[in-house]
Chain A
Amino acid sequence: MAKEPQKNEEEDGGEFADFLADVSQEIAQRVESLDPRPKSEAAAEPRKTPAAGEERKKTPAAADAGLIAEWPNIVDRLIEEMR
């Protein structure tokens, strides 16, 4: 399988785009079949649109907050290790 690597300078800009396209295709193929909710339930789930004058719900905190929160802990542990 391993071939000597080739590098086409013109393709530089497209490398990430190609990667993203492949990953998107892979995920699209899998997540639908894996969704634990019954398909009918998922399909029938109504989109709630706030009525006129009704207060809109605020967007929850950033979904990646957990990722960021982990970072200081890791650094602390690493510093501890170096002592």
Chain B
Amino acid sequence: MSVVNYGTREITCKIVYYGPGRSGKTTNLQHVYSQLPEERKGKMVSLATETDRTLFFDFLPLDLGTISGFATRFQLYTVPGQVYYAATRKLVLQGVDGVVFVADSQARQMAENIESLQDLHANLADEGLDPRTIPLVMQYNKRDLPAGELSTLEELDETLNFRGVPHYAATAVNGGGVFETLRSIASLVLSRLSAPAARES
């Protein structure tokens, strides 16, 4: 996927929200969607089961309008967290420019967080992307749950954030930390416009 195209004067960024099942990926996108002004609200595509688990993925196109002469679009995707949708996750990761890893802060979910992170790394490698360098932000979600049920931010960071990337505590269900996370990954992705690896289609 092209990040910046001087020919058509377009900037397009694909950001994927990755993480274990029920960690709050879809909730992140729903909050972003809820905050869009009416004139910018396109369609958020969600394919969910009857129990609201993401079946395939969610897709939210963010048309930011023309910025510095460039038509600028962010495409936000989530992947289905359940382990048996591995093929779908790989498909959604194609052409990704940046990843938000949404971890579930509950202590009993730590193993699922680790498994999902390993799955992310394997799928990025399969796509020919370097898991050590791709723009990545960690979000530690569900901080509104009782403290006794949660891993501390330090524990989460020590276990999951070995790259030392930006990390944010969040309560996506009421919007806390959602835009901070999005702003951070957007900045990381855009900062790569200046890198030699910035791709043009």
- Pairing of A with B: yes
Within the complex, the shortest CB–CB distance from B118 to chain A, in Å, comes to 22
Q: Does more than half of chain A's interface fall in helix, strand or loop, or is it mixed?
A: helix
Q: Does A48 touch B at the CB level, under 8 Å?
A: no
Residue in B69, B71, B140 whose beta carbon sits within 8 Å of that of A2 in the complex: B140
Q: Does B193 touch A at the CB level, under 8 Å?
A: yes
Q: Is A19 touching B175 in the complex (CB atoms < 8 A)?
A: no
Q: Does B131 touch A at the CB level, under 8 Å?
A: no
Q: Mark A1-36, 1 if CB is under 8 A from B, else 0.
A: 111111100001101101110111011101111111
Residues of B participating in the A interface, judged by any CB pair closer than 8 Å: 4, 6, 8, 10-12, 32, 35-37, 40, 56, 61, 63-64, 67-75, 87-88, 91, 140, 143, 153, 157, 166-171, 174-180, 182-183, 186-187, 190-191, 193-194, 198
- CB pairs A–B below 8 angstroms (26 shown): A1-B167, A1-B168, A2-B140, A2-B167, A3-B169, A4-B143, A5-B143, A5-B169, A12-B35, A15-B175, A15-B179, A16-B37, A19-B182, A19-B183, A22-B187, A23-B186, A26-B190, A27-B68, A27-B72, A31-B68, A36-B6, A64-B63, A64-B71, A67-B75, A81-B87, A81-B88
